[in-house]
Amino acid sequence: ETGVTQTPRHLVMGMTNKKSLKCEQHLGHNAMYWYKQSAKKPLELMFVYSLEERVENNSVPSRFSPECPNSSHLFLHLHTLQPEDSALYLCASSQAYLQEETQYFGPGTRLLVL
């Protein structure tokens, strides 16, 4: 247990569905991250939030929409996804952004888009 939880752990959705991934951290951290891990590819950073403000958006398609209502919760809203979006989506948190602080990861949500 790292103190970062993600739900659901597995998700199957059609290309016309709308779903949301949820991340919660119990570490009192101020920065939260979304990563994508596709099969046979390295982790890719998608979004970064610091103190509930989005500070990084790494050329992610608009069908992925993040939301950070408070420093403990992070959502990734999904709509009109493509099969190539099937991947492991990982949430992480750290004490602060742009500092030498360790990132701690949740268990991930395994997403399959049909």
Partner 1 sequence: DAKTTQPPSMDCAEGRAANLPCNHSTISGNEYVYWYRQIHSQGPQYIIHGLKNNETNEMASLIITEDRKSSTLILPHATLRDTAVYYCIVRVRSNYQLIWGAGTKLIIKP
Q: How far is the CB of 24 from partner 1 (least distance, A)?
A: 14
Residues 6+ apart with CB under 8 A from 11: 19, 21, 109, 110, 111, 112
- Cβ proximity to partner 1: between 12 and 15 the closer is 12
**CA 112, CA 101: separation in Å to the nearest integer?**
32
Minimum separation from the CB atom of position 107 to partner 1 (A): 5
Q: Does 66 bind partner 1 (CB under 8 A)?
A: no
Among the residue ranges 11-19, 62-70, 79-87, 92-100, the one whose residues contact partner 1 (CB under 8 A) = 92-100
String of DSSP letters for 7-40? E-SEEEE-TT-EEEEEEEE-S--SEEEEEEE-TT
Q: How far is the CB of 106 from partner 1 (least distance, A)?
A: 5
Angstrom distance (rounded) from CA 78 to CA 72? 20
Task: Among 42, 53, 62, 69, indicate the residue that binds partner 1 (CB under 8 A).
Answer: 42
DSSP 8-class letter at 83: G
Measured from the CB atom, the residue of 9 and 18 that comes closer to partner 1 is 9
Residues that bind partner 1 (CB under 8 A): 2, 4, 6, 42-45, 56, 88, 90, 92, 97-100, 102-108, 110
